[in-house]
């Protein structure tokens, strides 16, 4: 009996000992939690006190501002106007009281600044400078014949175009632009400065029309209106230089544009000019003007990019009063993926067709091997065009600054028989949107030696040229067309 009673007593003793052993551990955990709670309460009180101080400080500042009286503007005194006298000079502006500071003397005054609209000290117009330098290498015989892309400047590094741009708003209804160009045309000679453009645009005429007056690059096709430093390739396409000359179609006169109210974009343009261009026209008389026209449309393909289609016409008289008609068709497509800052792919091209009346001097203008009768009037039909594509495949990082392109040219000669073709790959490096370097190669072949040979000196029928281009922009620059 004692044995059965002893077993429960032993079990109870073991349990009681375990309980006494666990009690100190539980007491230690409770003490640690109590200390942590006390520390959090102190941190909360400290944060509460700092927030209350900040709120009180802001409240006091707000009360001071609300209780302060509003500033009273100085009284305006209107002086009586003097009687109108034809020979009277305008009254002199009274000198401001006090000695002006150096900043007051340096700050532009009206009408050279618009304080309300553009901010104090800013000009009414924007100003920018661009520089475009070209270096080229080619064969010695091409240099001797002066038959390179930049004739007379073969194997030479030169400033092709240094440009000063002034452009901006005249008032809410008109804007203007003035551009001065400086460049080197002949090896070893000084740089020539000329007026490239000077025109104004009336922007708010009735019926969605605008008018542009002055000296300008005629908006014929895609590339003619673009200045050299803004071209997507190194040199102007061969067909434009052949039909319009090295400088393109630059004229004095006016253009009117009209955008009708339609569900889609459609723009019509018409122009009247002097016809000074010696390569294509040259009569230079507003009595018998050069007439131009252009129609273009823009199609948005949503996530697949956008495309622009256009057609142009230029019709004028040559110095012998014979007519020259040039038609043009153009296309440009850009694909910019969502989230990209630059186009992934761009392609564009132009096709020109010339119908020109000429007086033959006995040469073979038709290319049939039979010389024409001297002083015979002939109609020359000439075709030319170009197509290019550019790829900038990297979105971010260092390699996104590189773009590669390829252009193909094919054109007949404007007033001679025969044609030529050329292919030009190029690589562009853009450290920023204000600085660009290009390296390009151009291979050109003409099918008639007589068209591009300087007899007794050398031939430029087949040309291999390497180009290096560096371009920079300082200050403001107008937006590029699509």
Q: What domains appear along the chain, each with residue ranges and CATH number? A: 130-475 (2.40.160.10)
The terminus-to-terminus CA distance of the chain in angstroms comes to 111
Helix (H/G/I), strand (E/B), else coil: 313: strand
How far, in Å, are 146, 160, 161, 183, 245 from residue 151 at the CA level? Answer: 5, 12, 15, 14, 12
Residue with tokens 């620059």: 477
pLDDT at 105 over 70: no
Tokens of residue 429, six digits: 């490096």
Residues in the chain: 482
Compute the distance between CA of residue 466 and CA of residue 237 in angstroms, rounded to an integer.
16
Give the tens place of pLDDT for each residue, 396-428.
999 999 999 999 999 999 998 899 999 999 999
| Mean of pLDDT values over 450-454 | 52
Cβ(415)–Cβ(381) below 8 Å: no
Tokens of residue 201, six digits: 């645009």
Nearest to 387 by CA among 408, 373, 357: 408
CA dihedral 231, 233, 234, 236 (to 10 degrees): -70
Cβ(411)–Cβ(438) below 8 Å: no
Which has the higher per-residue pLDDT, 16 or 290? 290
Lowest mean pLDDT across 51-55, 82-86, 347-351, 379-383: 82-86
pLDDT at 29 over 90: no
Strand partners for 443:
423, 464
| Mean of pLDDT values over 336-347 | 93
Compute the distance between CA of residue 365 and CA of residue 361 in angstroms, rounded to an integer.
9
Cβ(354)–Cβ(382) below 8 Å: yes
Please state the pTM of the whole predicted model: 0.72
Nearest to 375 by CA among 353, 390, 359, 397: 359
Report pLDDT for 81: 41
In our burial notation (b when 16+ CB lie closer than 10 A, e otherwise), range 200-211 reads: ebbeeeeeeebe
Total Cβ atoms within 10 A of residue 476: 15
Helix (H/G/I), strand (E/B), else coil: 242: helix
Cβ(129)–Cβ(164) below 8 Å: yes
Compute the distance between CA of residue 113 and CA of residue 122 in angstroms, rounded to an integer.
5
Going by pLDDT thresholds of 50, 70 and 90, the confidence category of residue 6 is very low
Nearest to 252 by CA among 276, 268, 282, 224: 276
Residue with tokens 């697949």: 304
Give the tens place of pLDDT for each residue, 198-243.
999 999 898 889 999 999 999 999 999 999 999 999 999 999 999 9
- Who contacts 460 (Cβ-Cβ below 8 Å, separation ≥6)? 141, 142, 145, 146, 147, 148, 446, 452, 453, 454
């Amino acid at each position: 009996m004692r044995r059965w009673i002893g077993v429960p007593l032993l079990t109870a003793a073991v349990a009681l000992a375990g309980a006494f052993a666990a009690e100190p551990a539980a007491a230690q955990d409770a003490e640690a939690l109590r200390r942590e709670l006390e520390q959090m309460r102190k941190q909360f009180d400290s944060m509460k006190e700092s927030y209350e101080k900040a709120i009180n400080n802001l409240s006091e500042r707000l009360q001071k501002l609300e209780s302060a009286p509003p500033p009273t503007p100085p009284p305006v005194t209107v002086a009586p106007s003097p009687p109108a006298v034809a020979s009277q000079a305008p009254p002199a502006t009274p000198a401001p009281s006090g000695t002006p500071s150096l900043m007051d003397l340096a700050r532009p005054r009206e009408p050279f600044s618009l304080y309300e609209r553009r901010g104090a000290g800013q000009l009414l117009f924007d100003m920018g400078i661009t520089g475009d330098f070209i270096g080229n290498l080619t064969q010695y015989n091409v240099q001797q014949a002066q038959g390179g892309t930049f004739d007379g400047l073969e194997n030479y590094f030169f400033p092709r175009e240094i440009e000063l741009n002034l452009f901006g708003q005249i008032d809410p209804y008109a804007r203007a632009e003035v551009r001065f160009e400086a460049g080197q045309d002949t090896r070893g000679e000084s740089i020539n400065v000329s007026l490239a453009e000077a025109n104004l645009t009336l922007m708010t005429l009735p019926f969605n029309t605008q008018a542009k007056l002055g000296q300008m690059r005629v908006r014929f096709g895609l590339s003619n209106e673009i200045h050299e430093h803004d071209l997507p390739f190194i040199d102007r396409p061969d067909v434009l230089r052949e039909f319009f000359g090295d400088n393109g179609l630059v004229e004095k006169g006016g253009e009117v544009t009209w955008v009708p109210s339609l569900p889609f974009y459609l723009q019509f343009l018409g122009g009247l000019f002097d016809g000074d261009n010696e390569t294509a026209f040259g009569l230079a008389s507003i009595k018998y003007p050069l007439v131009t026209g252009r129609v273009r449309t823009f199609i948005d393909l949503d996530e697949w990019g956008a495309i622009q289609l256009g057609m142009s016409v230029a019709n004028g008289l040559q110095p012998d009063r014979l007519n020259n008609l040039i038609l043009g068709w153009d296309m440009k497509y850009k694909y910019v993926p969502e989230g990209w800052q630059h186009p992934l792919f761009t392609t564009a091209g132009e096709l020109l067709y010339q119908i020109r009346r000429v007086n033959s001097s006995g040469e073979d203008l038709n290319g049939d091997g039979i010389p024409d009768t001297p002083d015979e009037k002939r109609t020359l039909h000439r075709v030319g065009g170009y197509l290019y594509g550019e790829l900038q495949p990297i979105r971010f990082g260092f390699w996104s600054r590189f773009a590669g392109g390829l252009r193909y040219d094919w054109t007949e000669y404007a007033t001679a028989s025969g044609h030529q073709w050329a292919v030009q790959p190029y690589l562009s490096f853009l450290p920023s949107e204000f600085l660009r370097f290009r390296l390009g190669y151009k291979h050109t072949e003409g099918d008639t030696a007589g068209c591009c040979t300087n007899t007794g000196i050398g031939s430029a029928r087949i040309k291999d040229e390497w180009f290096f281009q560096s371009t920079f922009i300082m200050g403001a620059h107008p937006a590029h067309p699509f």
